[in-house]
Amino acid sequence: MIFGLHPLLLVTFLPLVGFLIILFLKAEQKNAIRWTALLTSLATFGASLAMLAQFDPARGDLQLVYRTSWLRVGGISIDFYLGVDGLSILLVLLTTFLTPIAILSTWSAVEERVKGFMAFFLLLETGMLGVFLALDLVLFYIFWEFTLVPMYFLIGVWGGERRVYAAVKFFLFTMFGSLLMLLAILVMGLQAGSFAWNDLLAQRQLFAQTQLWLFLAFALAFAIKVPMFPLHTWLPDAHVEAPTAGSVILAGVLLKMGGYGFLRFNLPFFPEASLQAAPYMAVLAVIGILYGAAVSLMQKDVKKLVAYSSVSHLGFVMLGIFAFTQQGLAGGVLQMINHGLSTGALFLIVGMLYERRHTREMSAYGGIWKVMPILGALTLIVMLSSAGLPGLNGFVGEFTILLGAFGSQVLNSPYFAGAATIGVILAAVYLLVMFERVFLGPVRVEANLSLKDLNAREVITLLPVLVLIFWIGLYPAPFFDLINPSVERLVALVQSMAVLAIH
């Protein structure tokens, strides 16, 4: 209990307090609105740390459970049911960590309609936290679908030139997947007489016959969100048009909802179907890794490059998940965090450049290091983290995933990991090329000579991310300690099925 409130309730709904305060502020009080949003999101981060303090990492089960009946439909209860375990706790922390950073990044970037922007941002935070914490499937769906609305507005109102197209595409793509998931949720809930996650898990034998269809319905919703090749086409549009803070949250957190969905629902509910689907999913993941990297190589626009690199990086996450090994899954969870940090930071950097020069074409830059040494140095670290340099966070995640994929009995082939390794090399190529074109060499464009280096606020925005990049890179053990017990349970569950399937 924190202030007499359940910690998960506090974490989930604290942003709404800021949202309500902002509603009552005048649109002209821009700074008051900004500070309210920042302080609320910082308080939420604090609350999530308090949640972490009460979390026992040694147990792999659901903790800090809050459950109260919400409504009954025909004898089946829909509960307000929250809980956290090793699969979700880091994602919750990532959300509460990135939100204040994203808000800080908008300080001078968003000047128009600040009130609406911050209001939607805090709504979005509550929605995302709810997705990671909800354990009733209807409640999960409500949070899941609700995140669409604020993100749709963030892209559509504050985005770039083709923002309306990108926003509608984002909305419709995601909704398509989630509607099928809703149907699967209804079918399962009616069969089992409950929408609660653990009840459905206990009764998963009921879905033995239909599990392939149910698996596909859930997988479609999550694969669109991740996004997996070939369902990724909404992502570059959404990323390129979204405002910086929107891109940070989109890449940092929203995409993780897809990966999390696979871990929380697909694997435990439908282990046999997951095993059946694993080779296909792994093939799509590897195609995503290579395709995303290849397309990144060809980009002239920095933001598009980072967007496509997301497709590639999340391919690793999916490969790790569908390797069904302890390392693969744990690496997948950690890589989601890593991607949130490095890609979030890359989007922040792109935003900082864009704010100064109002272009994202790499040809408009060159030699920026000479004018902006602080930004250059920080970018180098973030870029190397994204490329997977040992000693930084990206390496830990990717290496663990590759290890898991090599050792996977389910995939039973070294080619998956082998092909994915090529993706690591390609990532180094396109990131280094990008760095070279933007930061190295002589200053070719005169307008760049007068660029101002980062101010204190911008350094403060990036610094916390860099701390975590080093921390995870040098000493990942505390993070794995949080993840591992829950992953072990998941692996044990799926492997018991695997034994049945192989023999």
Partner 1 sequence: MNLSDFILTLPILVLLAWALLLLVVDLWVPKGRKGIVAALAALGLAVTIGVTLSQAGNGGLAFQNMIMADGFAVYLNVLYLVSGLVVIALSHDYLKRMNLERGEFYPLMFLSIAGMMLVTQAYNLIMVFLALEFLSIPLYVLAGLARERPESEESSLKYFLLGTFSSAFVLYGIALIFGATATTGLSEIIASVQEGAVNLPIFLAGAALMLVGFAFKLAAVPFHEWAPDVYQGAPTPVASFMAVAVKTAGVAVLLRVFLTAFPTLAAEMAPLGWGIAALTMLVGNILAIAQTNLKRLLAYSSISHGGYLLMAFVAYGNPQVAGQAVAAMLFYLLAYTLTTFGAWAVVISVEQADYQGLELEDYAGLGLKYPWLGVAMLVFMLSLTGIPLTMGFWGKLFLFRAAVDAGYVELALIGLLSSLISAYYYLRVVVMMFMRSGEPRIRRDGWLSLVAVGSALAVVGLSLLPNQILQMAAQAILSLQ
By CB atoms closer than 10 A (0-12, 13-18, 19+), residue 224 is buried
| Among the listed residues 97, 171, 222, 439, the single contact to partner 1 using CB under 8 A | 171
What are the C-alpha distances in Å from 335 to residues 46, 260, 313, 330, 495?
24, 12, 8, 8, 22
Selected binder of partner 1 within 20, 49, 172, 502 (CB under 8 A): 172
Only segment of 46-54, 64-72, 331-339, 435-443 that touches partner 1 (CB under 8 A)? 64-72
What is the footprint of partner 1 within residues 66-95 (CB under 8 A)?
70-74
Q: How far is the CB of 423 from partner 1 (least distance, A)?
A: 33
Least CB distance to partner 1 at residue 182 (A): 7
Helix, strand or coil, per DSSP, at residue 495: helix
Size of site (CB under 8 A) for partner 1: 33
Say whether 209 sits in a helix, a strand or coil: coil
| Nearer residue to partner 1 within complex by CB, 180 or 257 | 180
Residue 190 lies near partner 1 (rule: CB under 8 A): yes
How many CA atoms are closer than 13 Å to the CA of 492, on its beta-carbon side?
7
Per-residue DSSP letter, 162: T
Task: List binders of partner 1 among 98-127 (CB under 8 A).
Answer: 113
Q: Which of residues 326-345 bind partner 1 (CB under 8 A)?
A: none
Helix, strand or coil, per DSSP, at residue 111: coil
Residue 13 as a binder of partner 1 (CB under 8 A): the answer is no
Please pick, from the candidates 110, 167, 249, 341, the single residue that binds partner 1 as defined by CB under 8 A.
Answer: 167
Cβ of residue 155: shortest distance to partner 1, in angstroms?
10
Q: Which is nearer to partner 1, 73 or 474 (CB)?
A: 73
CB 223 within 8 A of CB 255: no
Token readout for 267 is: 């694997």
Alpha carbon of 112 to those of 236, 260, 281: distances in Å? 24, 34, 43
Distance separating alpha carbons of residues 429 and 296, to the nearest angstrom? 10
Q: Does 50 bind partner 1 (CB under 8 A)?
A: no
Interacting span for partner 1 (CB under 8 A) from 181-189, 225-233, 289-297, 415-423: 181-189
Question: Whose Cβ is closer to partner 1: residue 152's or residue 291's?
Answer: 152
Residue number, 10 or 182, with CB nearest to partner 1: 182
Nearer to partner 1, 6 or 113 (CB): 113
| Site for partner 1 contains 17 (CB under 8 A) | no
Q: Which of 34, 163, 264, 437 binds partner 1 (CB under 8 A)?
A: 163
- Closest of 338, 345, 341 to residue 379, by C-alpha: 345
With beta carbons less than 8 A apart as the criterion, state whether 198 and 136 touch: no
Integer angstrom CA distances of residue 342 from 4, 395, 470: 36, 12, 11
Q: Apex CA 90: angle with CA 428 and CA 129, to 5°?
A: 115
3-class SS shares of the chain: helix, strand, coil, % to 5: 75, 5, 20
164 binds partner 1, rule: CB under 8 A: yes
The answer to whether the CB of 307 falls within 8 A of the CB of 246 is: no
**What minimum distance in Å lies between the beta carbon of 274 and partner 1?**
22
4 lines the binding site for partner 1 (CB under 8 A): no
Closest CB to partner 1 among 52 and 187?
187
Q: Which of 92, 95, 250 is nearest to 171 (CA)?
A: 250
User: In the 8-state DSSP scheme, what is residue 450?
Assistant: G
Q: Which amino acid is at 443?
A: V
Q: Footprint of partner 1 on residues 123-162 (CB under 8 A)?
A: 138, 141-143, 145-146, 148-149, 152-153, 156-157
Minimum separation from the CB atom of position 270 to partner 1 (A): 17
- Residues of this chain that bind partner 1 (CB under 8 A): 70-74, 113, 138, 141-143, 145-146, 148-149, 152-153, 156-157, 163-164, 167-168, 171-172, 175-176, 179-180, 182-183, 186-187, 190
